[in-house]
């Protein structure tokens, strides 16, 4: 298999207390990551789908943040309880979970209202 069918990056960034932008995790570890990894493995997707730790994905005001490549689907405010739906709908079914997507007007945009209000 030449490449991962889905390569999922889960932000594990933690900032110092009092930092101007929020953190995606409190301590650099997330139950979300573990839950995605466990469910992907249980679904027999190991080797085809990779769940990866990542550093800051720069969408901090929408965190916890996840991005799925190569399709470049960005999710925000993702909780461990959302892992099952991401795995079943998106990674197995090929249907991104629309309710979790970061809006185009927010993604990678310094003028995003969630960011400027922060």
Provide the binding-site residues for a copy of itself, judged by CB under 8 A: 1-4, 7, 9, 12, 47, 50, 52-58, 67, 69-72, 74, 104, 107-110
For a copy of itself, the closer CB: 12 or 86: 12
Residue 68 and residue 78 in contact, taking contact as beta carbons nearer than 8 Å: no
Nearest approach in angstroms of CB 77 to a copy of itself is 18
Query: Whole-number minimum distance, CB 62 to a copy of itself, in Å?
Result: 14
The answer to whether 60 and 108 have CB atoms below 8 angstroms apart is: no
Distance CA 89, CA 91 (A): 6
12-30 burial, b at 16+ Cβ within 10 Å, e below that, comes to bbbeeeeeeeebbbeeeeb
Q: In angstroms, give the least distance from the CB of 20 to a copy of itself.
A: 18
Comparing CB distances to a copy of itself, the nearer of 12 and 23 is 12
Taking the C-alpha atoms of residue 50 and residue 5, their distance in angstroms, rounded to an integer, is 8
We find the least distance from the C-beta atom of residue 56 to a copy of itself, in angstroms, to be 8
Indicate the residue among 53 and 114 with the shorter CB distance to a copy of itself: 53
């Amino acid at each position: 298999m030449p490449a991962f069918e889905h390569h999922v990056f889960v932000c594990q960034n933690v900032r110092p207390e009092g930092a101007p932008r929020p953190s995606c995790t409190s301590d650099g570890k997330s139950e979300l990551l573990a839950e995605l990894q466990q469910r992907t493995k249980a679904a027999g997707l190991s080797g085809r789908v990779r769940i990866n730790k990542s550093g800051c994905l720069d969408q901090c005001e929408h965190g916890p943040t996840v991005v799925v490549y190569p399709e470049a689907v960005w999710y925000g405010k993702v909780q461990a309880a959302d892992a099952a739906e991401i795995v079943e709908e998106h990674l197995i079914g090929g249907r991104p979970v629309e309710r979790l997507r970061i809006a185009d007007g927010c993604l990678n945009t310094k003028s995003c209202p969630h960011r400027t209000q922060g």
